[in-house]
Amino acid sequence: MKCKAAVAWGPGQPLKIEEVDVQDPQAGEVLVRMVATGVCHTDAFTLSGEDPEGIFPAILGHEGAGIVEAIGEGVTSLAVGDHVIPLYTAECKECKFCLSGKTNLCQAVRETQGKGLMPDGTSRFSINGQPIFHYMGTSTFSEYSVVAEVSLAKIHVDAPLEKVCLLGCGITTGIGAVLNTAKVEKGATVAVFGLGGIGLSVIQGARMAGAGRIIAIDINESKFEMAKQFGATDCINPKKFDAPIQQVVVDMTDGGVDYSFECIGNVDLMRSALECCHKGWGESIIIGVAGAGQEISTRPFQLVTGRVWKGSAFGGVKGRSQLPGYVEDYMNGKIEIDPFVTHTMGLEDINKAFDLMHEGKSIRTVILF
């Protein structure tokens, strides 16, 4: 079949709307008609050329929701008409990782996914016979995408896809990092670096966990209002202080926070986030994604004296078994999504969504197909 998709032809180039050929789903694969997709900073990161796994030409996008249009041979867990969220972290329930009970990082399709290919090592997208690579196993910037069965969460048929698409990455990542990775306790003190879709979701998760104090940090003060709405108790701009931001936070909190979250992708701020944690027990969770060649550093003494450095991917959430519950939590009012959708537009305007993100004017743009 043919459909419209936004193609990333090369690093730093605007996406181009193209008519692409989409091959039928093969064994263990599913054709999804995309209804909506968010635009996450990770899409911009890969488009910038900074992603070591970035590969072009590709169809980006990993925060989508849609409807099953066709299934390939052997697909048993999904049927035509099912509503689904594509998962960049699959869940096969059989691999060593899934069976460990210790991680959500299923490896069933991860190797080919990182090469922009389906599990059999080929692409389902092409233009005039030239293969176009998949992205994160999802490629949601396309009217139709072929996704591995293990990379699809079946969700409640009544959930509004134009909202719950954001559970495909940003909102789940932030809430999950708080509840699954950090396991923030009631009354804890939390610092959140970066107030985009991820950082605001961390704040939402921290409030759900009953955190006592939530310190929100960003250089763009226009983000403070929404941070407060989600539960931030203090909002600070590092540019307004002479002292390093970690010192500012330590001074505000009688020695440091119990938990901090880096939601920017800046290795210097990852260090600040660790070092603003309380001696003896403070834990810092890295969520932000940093560019090729960048490394984190701190004095080992920071860890020797009890601070803990952790990372979190997709909030530690197992997509097929746990994401449907996140969707239901949205439907029953436990999770807020609507305020995150600051802009909506058609696929033809997708480059505007990237501009709004870079200008700091959006939290999430949702593309409606």
Could you say which residues in the range 294-313 bind ligand NAD, by CB under 6 A?
Answer: 312-313
Specify which residues 5 forms β-bridges with.
18, 142
Residue nearest Zn ion (C-beta atom): 40
Helix, strand or coil for residue 44? helix
Separation CA 169–CA 62 (nearest Å)? 7
Least distance CB 281 / ligand NAD (angstroms): 23
Instruction: Tell me which of 289, 323, 335, 337 binds ligand NAD, using CB under 6 A.
Output: 289
Q: Does the active-site annotation cover 169?
A: yes
196 interface partner picked from Zn ion, ligand NAD, ligand AHE, none, CB below 5 to 8 A per type: ligand NAD
Separation CA 340–CA 317 (nearest Å)? 20
CB of 40 closer than 8 Å to CB of 117 = no
288 interface partner picked from ligand NAD, Zn ion, ligand AHE, none, CB below 5 to 8 A per type: ligand NAD
Going by C-alpha positions, the residue among 173, 212, 217 that lies closest to residue 195 is 217
Separation CA 285–CA 309 (nearest Å)? 6
42 binds ligand AHE per the rule CB under 6 A? yes
Q: What are phi and psi of 168, to 5 degrees?
A: -70, -15
Q: What is the dihedral of CA 179, 180, 182, 187, to 10 degrees?
A: 30
81 interface partner picked from ligand AHE, ligand NAD, Zn ion, none, CB below 5 to 8 A per type: none
Instruction: Tell me which of 31, 32, 34, 40 binds ligand AHE, using CB under 6 A.
Output: 40
Helix, strand or coil for residue 338? helix
Please, where are the H alpha helices in 125-196? 161-164, 170-176
360 interface partner picked from ligand AHE, ligand NAD, Zn ion, none, CB below 5 to 8 A per type: ligand NAD
Give the total of residues touching ligand NAD (CB under 6 A).
32
Instruction: Tell me which of 6, 18, 42, 269 binds Zn ion, using CB under 5 A.
Output: 42
> 11: which DSSP letter?
T
| Closer to ligand NAD by Cβ: residue 238 or 325 | 238
| Closer to ligand NAD by Cβ: residue 44 or 70 | 44
52 binds ligand AHE per the rule CB under 6 A? yes
Residues engaged in binding ligand AHE (CB under 6 A):
40, 42, 51-53, 89, 105, 110, 169, 289, 313-314
